Amino acid sequence: MQTHAIEQKNRLILGLGQTGLSVARYLSANNQPYKVMDTRERAPGADELSQLDSEALIPWNAEQMLGYDELVVSPGIAVTQPEIVKAHDYGVAIAGDIELFAQVNRLPVIAITGSNGKSTVTELVGKLLEASGLKALVGGNIGLPALDLLPKASDDAVVVLELSSFQLETTYSLKPTAATILNVCEDHLDRYADYKAYVEAKQRIFENAATIIENSDDELTQPNNAGAKRLSFGFSNNSDWQVDVTDGVLRRGERAVLPLKELTLQGAHNALNVAAAFALLEATGVVINDAVLESAKNYSGMPHRSQLVAVKNGVTYINDSKATNVGATVAAVNSFAPQYDKKIILIAGGDAKGADLSNLKDSIEQHAKKVICFGKDGGAIAELDSSKSIIVKNLQEAIEQAVVSSDPGDCVLLSPACASWDMFSNYIERGQQFEQLVEVL
């Protein structure tokens, strides 16, 4: 058996969807009582829930919350909501699906968070583990919910979890073998009281970690946790795993491990993701052998993350629609600058979620040829450098302007620095539209 028995409690799941449904499935399989509340009239997953228990879904009612032992809160619901705070003050425990997973899991866990790059690193670590001969169970904030990984457990398995700040808020018992915060920049300030609260939520990943993997170039990824072992990755030469852009090589200490030009992944920031993945594997006891190196070289990344779309009329088009905050776009622009300095036509805009956009100003001034802005906060981005900026109504007009503004050898980079909700259902739809528009050029 790869799990402990879950403690018997009367639980109320708040929010259905993918996560809430995974909790309901798990509790049903373990003969645990539960109910589900959701504010939506027709919650996604309601049909499947009714097959588990036709009476499980009940109306949202703050007073009824007080009658349960524990609220299992889905990541999309803020624990600062008054009714949840009241229940907690009344003595009702607050947890999330990752906390339930942590209480019963017995497998080694690699835990990954960060403002940017966490999905790429999570998927990459999974592929590298498989290349080493181990079984990787990858999930959490991407792919399968954590509780759905448990039936797939085996003695040779390692769990790789991408964790959002929202998930970490309700997690207390997770004991990762290795944990990392890849980077921290302003994000989700529409949910948090301030930047400090967001950083503190990220830092929760380190509380019980055996080994901490920190970014040597980002102080906010470096906690005060004297009890844990540490490894580092970064561009600086004091990193355990260094991306040496001057010599074009990834190093472990003084040893050159991999020429950067052999990586399929685009951009120096993605080389940093590879360094982080290697550090996580080392902390887990995995040998970085030839099979692991080949897997790293061949990994092409996830869709909509610095993804090469096409080269049309000598112009390179990159889809980085997943860049939903300023830090991600700064990383992308700076990463492509060595190859396309002053030749980057940046397409940016959308819903900035209350973030400070001014941190994008230096990258635009130093490296961008043009900035084509659209969406709710496109005007604010245009103000960062009005001499280079063009405001358009939509993504189609942005592509049209990019074609007019580009010359052979240029790079058109969709890296919005904003969420997509003002014009698209999600960043995937935004990226797909970009790819379709490029395809017909």
Catalytic residues: 118, 141, 188
Contact 388, 371 (CB under 8 A): yes
Handedness of CA 230, 233, 238, 240 (dihedral sign): positive
Indicate the residue type of 211. Answer: T
Geometric angle at alpha carbon 71, from 69 and 77, rounded to 5°: 170
Indicate the residue type of 38. Answer: D
Residue 295's nearest CA partner among 137, 130, 139, 158 is 130
Residue 322's nearest CA partner among 430, 161, 399, 422 is 430
